[in-house]
Amino acid sequence: MTEVEFIGTVEELQQRRPDLSRLEAGLLAAPHLGLSPDTRSFARVFDVAHAHVLRALTRLDEAGLVAVTERDPRTQRAHFAPTDEARTLFAQAA
């Protein structure tokens, strides 16, 4: 996965779902592309404040695109998985 491919995937998601911010689309794309399996790792890899990533995750959860599978109460690190709706979105983009 190159940076160009990642950005292309993020842009494709934003075209299909204009309601997604760039951060939300990136967070949604990351596990699908085998990157950053949790919010803390995503924040570190992409040099974004963890609080911003957590807000993006909340919006994705509210939109029905991800399900939080595990959360560390001390660090707030959250692991998440795409929902069927997100998998359909990726299938359409392929």
Question: Each residue of 73-89: pLDDT tens digit?
Answer: 999 999 999 999 999 99
User: If you average pLDDT over residues 33-55, what whole number do you get?
Assistant: 94
Measured from the Cβ of residue 80, the count of other Cβ atoms closer than 10 Å reads 24
Residue with tokens 């992409």: 46
Which SS3 state, helix, strand or coil, does residue 94 take? coil
Instruction: Identify the helix (H) or strand (E) that includes residue 7.
Output: helix 3-16
Could you tell me the two tokens for 1? 């996965």
For the chain, the distance separating the N- and C-terminal CA atoms, rounded to the nearest angstrom, is 15
In the prediction, which pLDDT does 13 show? 93
| Number of structural domains found in the chain | 1
In the prediction, which pLDDT does 32 show? 84
Amino acid at position 41, single letter: S
- The CATH number of residue 17's host domain is 1.10.10.10
Q: Which domain holds residue 30?
A: 3-93
Question: Each residue of 7-42: pLDDT tens digit?
Answer: 999 999 999 999 999 999 999 999 888 888 899 999
In the prediction, which pLDDT does 22 show? 96
Rg (CA), the chain: 12
Residue with tokens 């399996």: 37
Could you tell me the two tokens for 15? 């075209």
In the prediction, which pLDDT does 35 show? 87
